[in-house]
Amino acid sequence: MYRIDGPTRAAALPAPLPVGTGSSSPGYFAHGDLLAGVPYTTLDPDWCNAIQEEIAGVVEAAEIDLDKANHGQLLAALQSLFVLQGAGAGVIVGTNEASIPLAGGFILKVGNQAGTYSEGALTHVFDNPFPNACWAVIPVSINTSATVNKDIWPQRQSRSATGFTLFLNLGGGTTTNSIDGVDYIAVGN
Protein backbone atom coordinates (compact mmCIF):
# COMPACT_ATOMS: atom_id res chain seq x y z
CA MET A 1 0.00 0.00 0.00
CA TYR A 2 1.27 3.42 -0.90
CA ARG A 3 -0.28 6.80 -1.41
CA ILE A 4 -0.30 8.02 -5.00
CA ASP A 5 3.02 9.63 -5.86
CA GLY A 6 2.82 10.43 -9.60
CA PRO A 7 3.72 13.83 -11.06
CA THR A 8 0.11 15.13 -10.97
CA ARG A 9 -0.53 14.31 -7.32
CA ALA A 10 -1.65 16.98 -4.86
CA ALA A 11 0.82 17.91 -2.14
CA ALA A 12 -1.96 18.09 0.47
CA LEU A 13 -5.31 16.35 0.82
CA PRO A 14 -7.81 18.66 -0.90
CA ALA A 15 -11.14 19.47 0.73
CA PRO A 16 -13.84 17.31 -0.85
CA LEU A 17 -16.65 18.84 -2.90
CA PRO A 18 -20.11 18.95 -1.30
CA VAL A 19 -22.06 15.69 -1.16
CA GLY A 20 -24.37 15.02 -4.07
CA THR A 21 -22.47 16.77 -6.86
CA GLY A 22 -23.44 13.92 -9.19
CA SER A 23 -26.81 13.49 -10.86
CA SER A 24 -28.06 10.56 -8.72
CA SER A 25 -27.63 8.99 -5.30
CA PRO A 26 -26.38 6.79 -3.75
CA GLY A 27 -24.04 6.36 -6.71
CA TYR A 28 -22.69 3.29 -8.44
CA PHE A 29 -20.18 2.75 -11.23
CA ALA A 30 -21.84 2.69 -14.66
CA HIS A 31 -20.64 0.70 -17.66
CA GLY A 32 -21.74 3.46 -19.96
CA ASP A 33 -22.76 3.31 -23.60
CA LEU A 34 -21.30 6.09 -25.68
CA LEU A 35 -23.53 5.27 -28.66
CA ALA A 36 -26.64 5.67 -26.49
CA GLY A 37 -25.29 8.80 -24.81
CA VAL A 38 -24.73 7.13 -21.38
CA PRO A 39 -21.32 8.17 -20.05
CA TYR A 40 -18.94 5.80 -18.32
CA THR A 41 -18.35 6.57 -14.65
CA THR A 42 -15.19 8.59 -14.19
CA LEU A 43 -13.19 8.45 -10.99
CA ASP A 44 -13.03 11.78 -9.21
CA PRO A 45 -10.31 12.81 -6.75
CA ASP A 46 -12.67 12.89 -3.75
CA TRP A 47 -13.68 9.27 -4.20
CA CYS A 48 -10.10 8.11 -4.89
CA ASN A 49 -8.75 10.02 -1.86
CA ALA A 50 -11.43 8.54 0.38
CA ILE A 51 -10.57 4.96 -0.68
CA GLN A 52 -6.83 5.62 -0.42
CA GLU A 53 -7.12 7.12 3.07
CA GLU A 54 -9.45 4.37 4.33
CA ILE A 55 -6.94 1.68 3.32
CA ALA A 56 -3.85 3.61 4.39
CA GLY A 57 -5.51 4.38 7.74
CA VAL A 58 -5.94 0.68 8.54
CA VAL A 59 -2.33 -0.08 7.59
CA GLU A 60 -0.98 2.83 9.63
CA ALA A 61 -3.19 1.97 12.64
CA ALA A 62 -1.40 -1.39 12.73
CA GLU A 63 1.89 0.55 12.91
CA ILE A 64 3.00 -0.75 9.52
CA ASP A 65 4.97 1.67 7.33
CA LEU A 66 3.43 2.12 3.89
CA ASP A 67 5.50 0.26 1.32
CA LYS A 68 4.88 0.73 -2.40
CA ALA A 69 6.28 -2.72 -3.27
CA ASN A 70 4.27 -4.66 -0.66
CA HIS A 71 0.77 -5.57 -1.84
CA GLY A 72 -0.10 -7.57 1.29
CA GLN A 73 -0.12 -4.74 3.80
CA LEU A 74 -3.89 -4.41 4.21
CA LEU A 75 -4.21 -8.13 5.01
CA ALA A 76 -1.24 -7.95 7.40
CA ALA A 77 -2.80 -4.93 9.12
CA LEU A 78 -6.17 -6.65 9.54
CA GLN A 79 -4.49 -9.76 10.96
CA SER A 80 -2.41 -7.63 13.29
CA LEU A 81 -5.32 -5.55 14.54
CA PHE A 82 -7.99 -8.23 14.80
CA VAL A 83 -6.32 -11.62 14.98
CA LEU A 84 -2.70 -11.70 15.99
CA GLN A 85 -2.27 -8.43 17.90
CA GLY A 86 0.98 -7.32 16.31
CA ALA A 87 1.66 -10.10 13.80
CA GLY A 88 2.32 -12.64 16.55
CA ALA A 89 3.52 -10.35 19.34
CA GLY A 90 1.70 -11.19 22.54
CA VAL A 91 1.06 -14.84 21.70
CA ILE A 92 2.35 -16.90 24.63
CA VAL A 93 2.99 -20.60 24.21
CA GLY A 94 3.41 -22.42 27.51
CA THR A 95 4.01 -26.07 28.30
CA ASN A 96 0.43 -27.23 27.70
CA GLU A 97 -1.31 -23.98 26.81
CA ALA A 98 -1.30 -21.11 24.33
CA SER A 99 -2.60 -17.62 25.11
CA ILE A 100 -3.71 -15.59 22.11
CA PRO A 101 -4.58 -11.90 22.47
CA LEU A 102 -7.77 -10.83 20.68
CA ALA A 103 -9.17 -7.45 19.76
CA GLY A 104 -10.83 -5.52 22.56
CA GLY A 105 -8.38 -6.72 25.21
CA PHE A 106 -9.71 -10.26 25.35
CA ILE A 107 -7.45 -13.31 25.58
CA LEU A 108 -8.16 -16.81 24.25
CA LYS A 109 -6.44 -19.71 25.98
CA VAL A 110 -6.33 -23.21 24.50
CA GLY A 111 -4.70 -26.11 26.23
CA ASN A 112 -4.92 -29.46 27.90
CA GLN A 113 -4.20 -31.30 31.10
CA ALA A 114 -3.24 -34.86 30.30
CA GLY A 115 -3.31 -37.70 32.80
CA THR A 116 -5.60 -40.41 34.09
CA TYR A 117 -8.51 -38.91 36.03
CA SER A 118 -11.45 -40.64 37.70
CA GLU A 119 -14.65 -39.15 39.09
CA GLY A 120 -13.98 -36.15 41.33
CA ALA A 121 -12.45 -32.69 41.24
CA LEU A 122 -9.73 -31.67 38.77
CA THR A 123 -8.00 -28.32 39.28
CA HIS A 124 -6.01 -26.68 36.50
CA VAL A 125 -3.65 -23.71 36.94
CA PHE A 126 -3.03 -21.62 33.80
CA ASP A 127 0.57 -21.41 32.58
CA ASN A 128 0.04 -17.63 32.36
CA PRO A 129 -2.90 -16.22 34.33
CA PHE A 130 -5.39 -13.77 32.85
CA PRO A 131 -4.58 -10.18 33.89
CA ASN A 132 -8.13 -9.58 35.20
CA ALA A 133 -10.61 -12.45 34.98
CA CYS A 134 -11.55 -15.69 33.27
CA TRP A 135 -15.02 -15.33 31.74
CA ALA A 136 -15.65 -18.83 30.43
CA VAL A 137 -14.10 -22.30 30.32
CA ILE A 138 -15.17 -24.98 27.86
CA PRO A 139 -13.74 -28.39 28.83
CA VAL A 140 -13.77 -31.59 26.76
CA SER A 141 -12.74 -34.96 28.17
CA ILE A 142 -9.99 -36.89 26.34
CA ASN A 143 -10.35 -40.56 25.38
CA THR A 144 -7.10 -41.57 23.65
CA SER A 145 -7.93 -45.29 23.59
CA ALA A 146 -11.46 -44.90 22.15
CA THR A 147 -12.82 -47.42 24.67
CA VAL A 148 -16.45 -47.38 25.83
CA ASN A 149 -15.60 -47.15 29.53
CA LYS A 150 -14.32 -43.58 29.17
CA ASP A 151 -17.68 -41.95 29.89
CA ILE A 152 -16.65 -39.36 32.48
CA TRP A 153 -17.65 -35.85 31.48
CA PRO A 154 -16.33 -32.57 32.90
CA GLN A 155 -18.47 -29.88 34.53
CA ARG A 156 -17.00 -26.48 35.41
CA GLN A 157 -17.11 -25.98 39.15
CA SER A 158 -15.21 -22.68 39.49
CA ARG A 159 -12.98 -20.35 37.50
CA SER A 160 -10.62 -17.47 38.26
CA ALA A 161 -7.89 -15.49 36.56
CA THR A 162 -5.35 -18.14 37.62
CA GLY A 163 -7.18 -21.34 36.70
CA PHE A 164 -10.32 -23.44 37.04
CA THR A 165 -11.73 -26.47 38.82
CA LEU A 166 -13.83 -29.10 37.10
CA PHE A 167 -15.94 -31.84 38.59
CA LEU A 168 -15.49 -35.04 36.62
CA ASN A 169 -18.84 -36.80 36.64
CA LEU A 170 -19.41 -40.47 35.90
CA GLY A 171 -21.69 -40.53 32.86
CA GLY A 172 -24.51 -42.69 34.16
CA GLY A 173 -22.73 -46.03 34.34
CA THR A 174 -21.91 -47.86 37.54
CA THR A 175 -18.43 -49.02 36.53
CA THR A 176 -15.54 -46.98 37.89
CA ASN A 177 -13.66 -45.60 34.93
CA SER A 178 -11.39 -42.74 33.94
CA ILE A 179 -10.50 -40.27 31.21
CA ASP A 180 -7.12 -39.45 29.73
CA GLY A 181 -7.24 -35.73 30.50
CA VAL A 182 -9.10 -32.60 29.48
CA ASP A 183 -8.76 -30.23 26.54
CA TYR A 184 -10.10 -26.74 27.17
CA ILE A 185 -10.78 -23.33 25.71
CA ALA A 186 -10.88 -20.38 28.10
CA VAL A 187 -11.72 -16.74 27.40
CA GLY A 188 -10.95 -13.80 29.65
CA ASN A 189 -9.32 -10.41 29.86
pLDDT tier for residue 125 given thresholds of 50, 70 and 90: very high
What's the pLDDT at 184? Answer: 94
pLDDT over 50 at 102, yes or no: yes
pLDDT over 70 at 8, yes or no: yes
Residue 72 to residue 164: CA distance in whole angstroms: 40
For CATH 2.60.40.3940, list the domain ranges present in the chain. Answer: 92-188
Residue 142 to residue 153: CA distance in whole angstroms: 9
Mean pLDDT, to the nearest integer, of 63-88? 77
pTM of the model: 0.52
Lowest mean pLDDT of 8-22, 34-48, 149-163, name the range.
Answer: 8-22
> Do 129 and 161 contact (CB within 8 A), yes or no?
yes
Q: Strand, helix or coil at 77? A: helix
Q: What average pLDDT does the chain have?
A: 84
CA distances from 100 to 41, 104, 116 (A): 45, 12, 28
pLDDT tier for residue 176 given thresholds of 50, 70 and 90: low
Mean pLDDT, to the nearest integer, of 122-138? 93
Beta-bridge mates of residue 136: 187
pLDDT over 50 at 86, yes or no: no
pLDDT tier for residue 6 given thresholds of 50, 70 and 90: confident
What's the pLDDT at 87? Answer: 41
Residue 66 to residue 1: CA distance in whole angstroms: 6
> Residue 86: how many CB atoms within 10 A of its CB?
13
> Do 98 and 156 contact (CB within 8 A), yes or no?
no
pLDDT tier for residue 82 given thresholds of 50, 70 and 90: low
What's the pLDDT at 85? Answer: 45
What's the pLDDT at 27? Answer: 76
pLDDT over 80 at 13, yes or no: yes
> Do 127 and 162 contact (CB within 8 A), yes or no?
no
Which CATH architecture is the domain 92-188 placed in?
Sandwich (2.60)
What's the pLDDT at 17? Answer: 79
Give per-residue burial for 122-145: e unless 16+ CB within 10 Å, then b: bebebbebbeeebeebebebbbee
